[in-house]
Structure 1
């Protein structure tokens, strides 16, 4: 029997309020399953869930966030064979190629988990000032981040986009495109992990339909356009500027996700708060 997958919003699996579904195919066009086709209402619900979860997640200790991400990596390892099969299907990879991609994705989650309690030390600083004051600059989470999942790399690229967002203490709404099967399986992993509901919300559907609503939503604080069609990116950037969103700049095509990650994504999705305090008080 054909399986129909649901959305992942607020730690639960609701159907799309529109009742629409769309087929998920492998890289050769063969049918795999049906997935819910998210609507504008579903996107608003996902943003509301992310905002509701933000205070608890950003207020948790960096150590606690790191432990949660390490646990997610362990659970990814537990479903490794399923991820390999799905990645091979949707990306038309050999078993060896899919295995390398999945193993790198698990390592990527571990890498960002290890950074959670180091962000403040590396990105923060004590500022030299002329006067009887201390001045500290401390990174803080930006808020709710909207992310368009990479199309070419269904698991490794997705985790490379999502992991730094939540490692920095943000919550996110992710739009997965037509290669959504590994993303759907990831949502099942997240639902049974220690990650609080609403920290990651995953919508399946058409990127070109959902992306403009994400870019104009006033309660979304930042936007990652990695998975946006290149023809759509300029308009999304203009729309995001109307609500003063922070936008992660992306080049042409997709990054090489197999390369060692940098701190660029962590830095992009943090805000720097500077505090002045009189000496001796």
Structure 2
């Protein structure tokens, strides 16, 4: 019995040893191991550039788009190619928003426009990057342009409660009554934005129209619209009521004649219209007796210095969108 137990013990011990050896062999095996999958590379969320009409961001009803390239020719985005119907919808939204905006106190309008400048300051780096892309400027030069655009909002906002004192008057009359001349907003203003200055030129034409209570429909720079679309995101989150500013991207040769000929547009700014087409646009505007604002004679749009404060910060630019009521 003792021998059997001893033998049995040896057998169990011996049978266990090969198992451990086999286990070690498997651990040291060179067989291919299954790799642990790492995190998948992240796909950037690309921005969709839309229109801005009535405080909302619709796509164009036509479903069309066109390619936008950087200053060096690199494709960077597709923008909506606005249609005639988009222009009509924008004018309708502006007309609806105009009475409420015009009825606000001058001080309140100034505060609202100052708020736009505050929000632009918070997105300054984004505007700088987009101006670099659009206009091919160096980053330090683009910062100057963006800073000047923000400052220009502030400059025109400050005129909200002062322009009436400068342009208005108390007129002498031969009688026991008073006679006053008071500036009033024109109404709905169509603005064909400058082509080469994608942000600063746009702000310099839009702010003077807004400060006195007009509502605007803007055709952006055709080749450089992206900073303008980013500006609409600022407007949408500021205190500017929906419909007061409406922005459409697309081809000016298609959209500018529609805007100029629309009978519910009271004034049009043709600064961004090419010289070859400007006369036709002005003739369309005069058919329904629009007020027309344009570049001074002999001034080329691509040579104008938008950084020149003396040329761009002028009460006369506000007066271009006013009617004088006596």
Question: What corresponds to 1:263 in structure 2?
Answer: 315
Per the TM alignment, residue 137 of structure 1 is displaced from its structure 2 partner at its CA by 0.2
Question: What corresponds to 1:278 in structure 2?
Answer: none
**Number of residue pairs matched by the alignment:** 274
Question: What corresponds to 1:15 in structure 2?
Answer: 59
Cα RMSD after superposing both structures? 1.0
Partner of residue 88 from structure 1, selected from 132, 135, 153: 132
Structure 2 unaligned segments of length 5 or more: list them. Answer: 1-44
Partner of residue 226 from structure 1, selected from 271, 280, 284: 271
Answer yes or no: is the 8 Å Cα contact 2:49–2:226 preserved in 1: no
Deviations along 1:51-76, one digit per CA (max 9) or x if unpaired, are 00000000000011001001000000
Q: Which shows bigger deviation, 33-42 or 257-266?
A: 257-266
Question: What corresponds to 1:253 in structure 2?
Answer: 300
Question: What corresponds to 1:75 in structure 2?
Answer: 119
What is the alpha-carbon distance in structure 1 between the residues aligned to residue 163 and residue 284 of structure 2? 30
Give matches, 1:32-181, under 5 Å. Answer: 32-176=76-220, 177-181=222-226
Q: Tell me the SS of whatever aligns to 1:182.
A: helix
Instruction: Indicate the structure with greater helix content.
Output: 2
Per the TM alignment, residue 256 of structure 1 is displaced from its structure 2 partner at its CA by 2.0
Q: Tell me the SS of whatever aligns to 1:32.
A: strand
Q: Tell me the SS of whatever aligns to 1:4.
A: coil
Instruction: Indicate the structure with greater strand content.
Output: 1
What is the alpha-carbon distance in structure 1 between the residues aligned to residue 321 and residue 159 of structure 2? 14
Answer yes or no: is the 8 Å Cα contact 1:2–1:34 preserved in 2: no
Question: What corresponds to 1:183 in structure 2?
Answer: 228
What is the alpha-carbon distance in structure 1 between the residues aligned to residue 286 and residue 176 of structure 2? 39
Answer yes or no: is the 8 Å Cα contact 1:3–1:34 preserved in 2: no
Per the TM alignment, residue 2 of structure 1 is displaced from its structure 2 partner at its CA by 5.2
What is the alpha-carbon distance in structure 1 between the residues aligned to residue 129 and residue 56 of structure 2? 25
Q: Which has the larger radius of gyration?
A: 2
